[in-house]
């Protein structure tokens, strides 16, 4: 499993997510109400996985940051 590539569905979703995250970051410059969403997505900016194992590893290492950002957004 260490070298299993990401399937195309996951890859497609990752690309769509990256585009949406970029759009949110750009919009946050013009609308302060969007800033909390941009901050909540910020921990995911570092994801650069090309395999399932890398995705698991990166998500595990970001788990606490993702949880903190989600908690801050929900407040």
Q: How far apart are CA 8 and CA 4, in angstroms?
A: 12
* DSSP β-bridge partners for residue 51: 5
Whether the CB-CB separation of 1 and 53 falls below 8 Å is answered with: yes
pTM of the model: 0.66
Q: How far apart are CA 41 and CA 24, in angstroms?
A: 9
**Res 3 pLDDT > 70:** no
Mean pLDDT of the 48-63 span: 84
pLDDT of residue 51: 77
**Res 9 pLDDT > 70:** yes
**Res 69 pLDDT > 70:** yes
More reliable by pLDDT, 68 or 45: 68
pLDDT of residue 73: 85
Q: How far apart are CA 18 and CA 34, in angstroms?
A: 16
Whether the CB-CB separation of 40 and 70 falls below 8 Å is answered with: yes
């Amino acid at each position: 499993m260490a070298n299993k590539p990401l399937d195309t569905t996951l890859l497609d979703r990752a690309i769509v997510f990256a585009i949406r995250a970029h759009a949110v970051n750009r919009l946050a410059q013009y609308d302060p109400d969007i800033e909390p969403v941009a901050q909540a997505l910020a921990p995911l900016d570092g994801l650069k996985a090309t395999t399932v194992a890398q995705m698991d590893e990166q998500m595990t290492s970001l788990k606490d940051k993702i949880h903190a950002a989600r908690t801050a957004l929900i407040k």
